[in-house]
Structure 1
Amino acid sequence: MNHYSSGDDGALKAVLFADFFSGQLRPPCTDETFCEALLPIANVCLIQYQLEALLLAQVKECIIICRESVKETLSKFVETLKLDMNLHFLASSQWLVAGDAIRELDSRGDLRPQSDFILILPGAFFTFNLAEVVKAHRTRREKNKNWVVTCCFGQRSISCSCDIARLEDGQIIQYSSARKGKLVVPGIMNMTDYCSRIEIFSNLEDCGIDICAPELLVEFRENFDYDNIRDFIRGKTDGGEGELLGNRIYGHILSASTDFACRLTNMESYFFVCFGFVHRWSYPWTVEQFPFHTTNYEYRRGPKYIPSVCTLARSSHIGRCTVLGENTCVDENAVVIHSIIGDNVKIGPNCHIRDSIIWSNSILKSRVSVCQSLIADGVVLDDDCVVSKGSIVGPSVLVDSKTHMPKNSRLVRSNLLSLSNEMEDLNIDSSVAVSREKQVGSASSYSLWQETLDETAQQQDSESSVDELEQIDRKESEDIAVVENREEVSATPDSLSFKSSSSSSPPMERKVALQEIKDTFQRALEEQHPPETAVLELNALKLALDIHSSLILRVIFPLLLDKLGVQGNTSQVTQQWITFFRYWSGVLIKFCPHSLDGKWILKYWKEYCERRTSYQKYFSFLVQLLYDCDVLSEEWIVEWYLEQVKSNPHSVWIQQLGTFVEWLQEAEETSSESEA
């Protein structure tokens, strides 16, 4: 294979995919001239954020890849931005997948990158500085030309969940996404012969941001099986070429605290990014401090973002985490909470909007209710309309008065759904059933589809320990918000109704997963496996079964308790317990990372003692033992104790634990005084 320059001899280029060829984000965007790059995030289009981030990375030239039908719209839009960057468009109506566009780019001598370049996949939103990532990539390339790609991964999975295994030098040896299967643990273990350490990361966010060498284009030219760059990565890792020789792919893990990145692939991720931006998670980029903003926003505590040009009635109420667009009019007694309102939107009297996004030039007449929904451009909602959770109203739709949209429904133009290929453009697949059709509007030109919810998935969601933790977190945040303002409830982006049905496993699969975890750890207990081996086996199951650490904890802790005996005198029993938990504490620590997990351990141990009276006198002893073994933290124990005091101050458990908690609090005070 030919080698190219590392990029120091020329200006840095970027290749930006402006839209999905599969139409993944097109339910609200039925116009063929619209693409995902024009999706507004806090009233600024996605492509503006992308281009600004590329400017910060010192990109001098950007190639924008899109469909032919959206090229004119995009080109006119970016002309208005007046960027210090050369922009070129590469468009075609013949491409079926992203790989086709990459192969055409390789054939274009005038556009083809001759050195390292940045590749931005469709829907990628990021606010961190890519310059350091590019610099590190070039440094690796100077030492070894086989480093052809650097992939960026976020530490919180939002829309593009993936698992990776990499060597100690950062080389990815396995990559899997929810769509393409799981990691192969035996294959990973075989690599231990060549390196001293292998890192396994689960539930990362594939940000869709890559630093690529020009050799990548040759790979696509020679392999027509590659639909996208992720197929290239799988091909190199699964085929063995990415193990020790040949092309090498580096996995760059972003900082969880400072680097904000996500891919917009569905409505859930779109809402997450929009409200994450409002919540200032993307700092230093904020609503009121962004270079492309032509609107002068005033930041108010809440946060609230109010433009200098808008009309707010005296009796209207603008709640927390709300953005109002320019020339927005909010009439008497209207309430807007935790929502993003576009430019030139008219909100009539007594309207109520919560946890929603409304694009520009829409009109909501009197007594309209919108909850956790998306309203596109140019929509008119007549008097007394109700838009329920998870609904989407397409552009230029006129909805008659007193229309009630059921949950998770879509309202779009009927003529856009007349042909099967247009339904594919709207991303209405076999999982979305047409359960009701209703003609609305004076011209009877719009149809209402209601998405059929999978009852099995709903049942599974209620049983999932992950959902249980999220619900508790939401409840805590809502309680705090109610104290601050009884009229407002702070909702996180995760609490919105746009949930992917693929995020949870069917009940039968969960039962199988629970049984497999139980059998694996039971065998480790009986055969006295080293704790490190048990952790490795459970981690492998976590990756293979796509489950949360909390679920593993809820299986292994009861098994540990069942191994505890109370035969003999108190001294013998306590000594046996000390030896047992000091041996297995490392496993508990690994799968008990959250305060809610620690409180669950205390709750379960209390209930365990209630069912087995012979264990009751050891309740406080085991709590202290778990504290000494670093399984339970001081904060978790004190918080749980205070919660129990409020609910039942005279319980036997409070009396047993009281002395120990007092000691913890005194030790904390002494430590604080010493530090002071």
Structure 2
Amino acid sequence: MVRRTSRAAEDADDLTHVPLQAILLADSFATKFRPITLERPKVLLPLVGIPMIDYSLEWLESAGVEEVFVFCCAHSKQVIQHLAKSQWLKNPDMAVTTIESHNSISAGDAMRVIYERNVIHGDFVLVTGDTVSNMSLAEALQEHKDRRKKDSNAVMTMVVKKSKPSPITHQSRLGTDELFVAINPDTKQLLSYEDNANPIDKSLLSDNSSISLRNNMQDCYIDICAPEVLSLFTDNFDYQHLRRDFLKGLLVDEITDYKIYTHEIHSSYAAKVENFRSYDTISKDIIHRWTYPLVPDVQYFGSSAVKLGRQGVYSASDIGLSSNAQIGPFTLIGKGTSVGSNSKVSNSIIGEGCKIGSNVSIEGSHIWNNVTIEDGCKLKHAILCDGVVMKARAVLEPGVILSFKVVIGKDFVVPAYSKVSLYEQPIFQDSDEELEYADSSNGMAEISSISASTGMPDGELVSRAAEASEVGADGAGYIWSVFEGREEEWRHSVAPISEDKLAELLQAADDVLDVPHVENHQHSEELVAPSIDPENLTDDNIDEFEKEVEATFQRAVQENIKDDNVVLEVNSLRLSYNMAAADCAGALFYSVMKLAVETPHSSISELLHNVTRLIRKWAKLLKYYLSSIDEEIEVILKFEEMCTESTKELSPLFTKVLQFLYEDVDLIQEEAILSWESEKMGADEVDRVFLKQAEPFIQWLKTAQEEDSEEEE
């Protein structure tokens, strides 16, 4: 259990203590996770082996929330049973109460039901059951309360975080559309919120003396609300969606004058599992420990113990690995799972009780519990639900989703982005808000739309599914087709964007990084994505930029992304943080060298081999940001800093690596090395350690330079 930080709800000005309450919506009111959510609610789907709702509840408990109302509708019995089984309903520090409804088909309906129950008595936290966070609520809650004391119309504070929209796909790393917001930089009041390319209302520019337009923000879907928020939903039955209807409705409502504010977090983590891409991204963030202490090797909410090894490999103590099975970096293997000979697993999460045969290749995939993968199978960037069976030599192309107990026949190849279920696909695609009706104790969904489309009772539907052979003669499952208007499944897929699609997008992205200049005639200010004044850059800003570049580089390594696409991602970061090319060069060089250190080695010579191999592999990417002597000097200074501080293991190799950069890969010119020497000559003795180490090499350079001059004369 994560240690509680503070009772954020306690207010010294109050004579009586009002417990901090929260509403957790345990229904997504969406269909993005179909066909999986036909049988199990989204909040109970495993995220790195733990049901999503447990992450949300654990964070609320650690942040000081004392009373949570869990609203559940679709699969409500499953949610209630899980809460009882996991002991959340008996938690001594946080009271958890369920509110069940079978008539709600939207978040707005849920808020109206909660209002009618009259259970909320003060400011409350509104969150969905698919949210992962480790942020402290204290600061945001205090800001909200202070504003409320001055202005009772300040009814909501929403948590946001700087994101990294892709310049080629115009979506965030979580697979959501690029978000455009207008914020008053002085008060943090939200003025406009658009999750598409709709132009900003020009009246905002004339009505506000100071305004900041941002396209690099991520909505964390964590809101601190005044009690009036619930009554607003009851007053307006058009409010269905939390953002599209309610939030935008308040922003344009000129009668009530209610206000919404933002609280931006920086070093903390907060994200919502919106689609399959964000499911994959957040899983990787957990494995990479951005969500600490909500990580697999820390005991929390009753999870099975796993141990963290080298290269980010997590494993339970009772797994069965063949002696020649290869387990790659950033992988988790759960309790009771076995992996056969010559099988390779990397960047994947494998649950409990799985049986993986010999000569199997698994990359970037999510394999839940009790899955059987027979000999010779291959799968990349896929999700396999509980009980799935892949017969011998079956292949899953990137982006495949296999729902519960699907069987893929021998030698069968499932096409990219396919979704396979034991249920037939409904004839009509439901809207995002339509509820997935289900309420059976055995966990099998009773889907009204499916029954209507087949014209037969649910029992017959299941028996027909068992006879399905769309996935091989000895398989069982239906391949769902893509509905009209949903052709861009790749945007929300668990798989990286394919090379042909990237090539198509790159063709249209030549001038996407051009930054417009907009002026407000009342208060002249550049309204662009960067929110950092380059003259006021802090160490935190620089550190955050370098971490983002490192995360981008790690994804490029794991997903085999081409250099050109990495450049686009880094350029978008450079734009967002107002950084120079030298900063990009230093951050990328740091990322390459850190990977070399983290790659297994048993001697200094093996470490040198790692360094030279990786620099040679990524030389083209590094060269892109080394267009002048200044950038090259920055790389030398960054390397010197690493040898002194973060990776002292590299210090004996300083001169050899410097020489390699100059002679072998032509990344550093002679002029840059001599300029670095000149800068260091006047430094203190302690800052000249690596200059002394490199003296023989520098002297050799000078001698060669003199000889060249003599030959020219």
What band does the TM-score fall into relative to the shorter chain? 0.5 to 0.7
**Secondary structure in 2 matching 1:29:** helix
Aligned partners of 2:277 and 2:494 also within 8 Å: no
Deviates more, 1:100-109 or 1:657-666: 657-666
What is aligned with 1:102?
111
What is aligned with 1:124?
131
Aligned partners of 2:394 and 2:412 also within 8 Å: yes
What is aligned with 2:228?
215
Superposed displacement of residue 661, structure 1: 5.1
What is aligned with 1:162?
179
Aligned partners of 1:456 and 1:507 also within 8 Å: no
Q: What is the identity, as a one-letter code, of the residue corresponding to 1:81?
A: S
In 2 relative to 1, CA 27–203 (structure 1 residues): closer, same or farther, beyond 3 Å? farther
Superposed displacement of residue 623, structure 1: 5.1
**Secondary structure in 2 matching 1:420:** coil
State how far apart, in whole Å, the 1-side matches of 2:578 and 2:483 are: 36
Superposed displacement of residue 173, structure 1: 3.6
Aligned match of 1:448 in 462, 469, 479? 479
Q: Would you say 1:388 and 2:397 are equivalent positions?
A: yes
What is aligned with 1:552?
none
Superposed displacement of residue 171, structure 1: 3.4
Aligned partners of 1:149 and 1:210 also within 8 Å: yes
**Secondary structure in 1 matching 2:392:** coil
Deviates more, 1:259-268 or 1:500-509: 500-509
State how far apart, in whole Å, the 1-side matches of 2:420 and 2:352 are: 22
Q: Would you say 1:225 and 2:238 are equivalent positions?
A: yes
In 2 relative to 1, CA 366–598 (structure 1 residues): closer, same or farther, beyond 3 Å? closer
In 2 relative to 1, CA 442–672 (structure 1 residues): closer, same or farther, beyond 3 Å? farther
Q: What is the identity, as a one-letter code, of the residue corresponding to 1:396?
A: K
Aligned match of 1:71 in 51, 76, 93? 76
**Secondary structure in 1 matching 2:345:** strand
What is aligned with 2:198?
181
Aligned match of 1:14 in 19, 22, 33? 22
Superposed displacement of residue 168, structure 1: 3.6
What is aligned with 1:662?
674
What is aligned with 2:334?
325
Q: Would you say 1:235 and 2:252 are equivalent positions?
A: no
State how far apart, in whole Å, the 1-side matches of 2:148 and 2:499 are: 39
Q: CA RMSD in A?
A: 4.5
In 2 relative to 1, CA 597–381 (structure 1 residues): closer, same or farther, beyond 3 Å? same
What is aligned with 2:206?
190
Superposed displacement of residue 79, structure 1: 0.7
Q: What is the identity, as a one-letter code, of the residue corresponding to 2:428?
A: S
What is aligned with 2:86?
81
In 2 relative to 1, CA 510–309 (structure 1 residues): closer, same or farther, beyond 3 Å? closer
State how far apart, in whole Å, the 2-side matches of 1:52 and 1:421 are: 35
Q: Deviations over 1:223-263 (max 9, x none)?
A: 2222233233222323456xxx93221200111xx311111
Superposed displacement of residue 158, structure 1: 3.5
What is aligned with 1:249?
260
What is aligned with 1:399?
408
Aligned partners of 1:416 and 1:423 also within 8 Å: no
State how far apart, in whole Å, the 2-side matches of 1:498 and 1:25 are: 19
Superposed displacement of residue 124, structure 1: 1.8
Aligned partners of 2:399 and 2:493 also within 8 Å: no
Q: Would you say 1:420 and 2:428 are equivalent positions?
A: yes
Q: Deviations over 1:567-625 (max 9, x none)?
A: xxxxxxxxxxxxxxxxxxxx9997555658679xxxxxxxxxxxxxxxxxxxxxx957x
Q: What is the identity, as a one-letter code, of the residue corresponding to 2:53?
A: I
State how far apart, in whole Å, the 2-side matches of 1:659 and 1:320 are: 39
In 2 relative to 1, CA 60–538 (structure 1 residues): closer, same or farther, beyond 3 Å? closer
Q: Deviations over 1:161-195 (max 9, x none)?
A: 423222244332423232473434x33432443xx
Aligned partners of 1:39 and 1:46 also within 8 Å: yes
Aligned partners of 1:174 and 1:183 also within 8 Å: no
Aligned partners of 2:680 and 2:687 also within 8 Å: no
Aligned partners of 2:336 and 2:353 also within 8 Å: yes
In 2 relative to 1, CA 645–26 (structure 1 residues): closer, same or farther, beyond 3 Å? same
Aligned match of 2:155 in 148, 157, 177? 148
Aligned partners of 2:33 and 2:275 also within 8 Å: yes
In 2 relative to 1, CA 166–589 (structure 1 residues): closer, same or farther, beyond 3 Å? closer
Superposed displacement of residue 30, structure 1: 2.9
Q: Would you say 1:135 and 2:151 are equivalent positions?
A: no
Q: Deviations over 1:188-212 (max 9, x none)?
A: 432443xxx4333322111110010
State how far apart, in whole Å, the 1-side matches of 2:44 and 2:529 are: 43
Q: Deviations over 1:448-506 (max 9, x none)?
A: 24669999989x99xxxxxxxxxxxxxxxxxxxxxxxxxxxxxxx99942789999997
Aligned partners of 1:381 and 1:401 also within 8 Å: yes
State how far apart, in whole Å, the 2-side matches of 1:237 and 1:137 are: 18
What is aligned with 1:582?
none
Aligned match of 2:300 in 278, 291, 294? 291
**Secondary structure in 2 matching 1:440:** coil
State how far apart, in whole Å, the 1-side matches of 2:409 and 2:431 are: 24
State how far apart, in whole Å, the 2-side matches of 1:598 and 1:45 are: 40
In 2 relative to 1, CA 665–359 (structure 1 residues): closer, same or farther, beyond 3 Å? farther
Aligned partners of 2:313 and 2:331 also within 8 Å: yes
State how far apart, in whole Å, the 2-side matches of 1:95 and 1:591 are: 46
Q: What is the identity, as a one-letter code, of the residue corresponding to 1:119?
A: L
Superposed displacement of residue 280, structure 1: 1.0
Aligned match of 2:218 in 193, 201, 205? 205
What is aligned with 2:274?
265
Aligned partners of 1:163 and 1:182 also within 8 Å: no
**Secondary structure in 2 matching 1:220:** helix
What is aligned with 2:44?
38
**Secondary structure in 1 matching 2:36:** coil
In 2 relative to 1, CA 500–119 (structure 1 residues): closer, same or farther, beyond 3 Å? farther
In 2 relative to 1, CA 645–438 (structure 1 residues): closer, same or farther, beyond 3 Å? farther
Within a 5 Å distance, the mapping from 1:541-552 to structure 2 comes to none
Aligned partners of 1:172 and 1:237 also within 8 Å: no
State how far apart, in whole Å, the 2-side matches of 1:538 and 1:59 are: 34
Quick one: percent identity of the two aligned structures?
23
Superposed displacement of residue 340, structure 1: 0.3
State how far apart, in whole Å, the 2-side matches of 1:268 and 1:292 are: 25
In 2 relative to 1, CA 639–120 (structure 1 residues): closer, same or farther, beyond 3 Å? closer
Q: How many residue pairs were aligned?
A: 530
Q: What is the identity, as a one-letter code, of the residue corresponding to 2:385?
A: A
State how far apart, in whole Å, the 1-side matches of 2:59 and 2:230 are: 24
Superposed displacement of residue 291, structure 1: 1.2
Superposed displacement of residue 538, structure 1: 8.8
Aligned match of 1:282 in 264, 269, 291? 291
Aligned partners of 2:212 and 2:528 also within 8 Å: no
State how far apart, in whole Å, the 2-side matches of 1:455 and 1:265 are: 16
Aligned partners of 1:172 and 1:251 also within 8 Å: yes
Q: TM-score, normalised by structure 2?
A: 0.65
State how far apart, in whole Å, the 2-side matches of 1:402 and 1:535 are: 58
In 2 relative to 1, CA 370–179 (structure 1 residues): closer, same or farther, beyond 3 Å? same
Q: TM-score, normalised by structure 1?
A: 0.68
State how far apart, in whole Å, the 2-side matches of 1:454 and 1:595 are: 43
What is aligned with 1:51?
57
Structure 1: 5+ residue runs without aligned partners? 428-436, 462-492, 541-548, 550-586, 600-621
Superposed displacement of residue 139, structure 1: 2.9
Superposed displacement of residue 376, structure 1: 0.9
Deviates more, 1:638-647 or 1:129-138: 638-647
In 2 relative to 1, CA 539–254 (structure 1 residues): closer, same or farther, beyond 3 Å? closer
Superposed displacement of residue 636, structure 1: 5.8
Question: Which one has more relative contact order, counting CA pairs under 8 Å at least 6 apart?
Answer: 2
Superposed displacement of residue 539, structure 1: 7.3
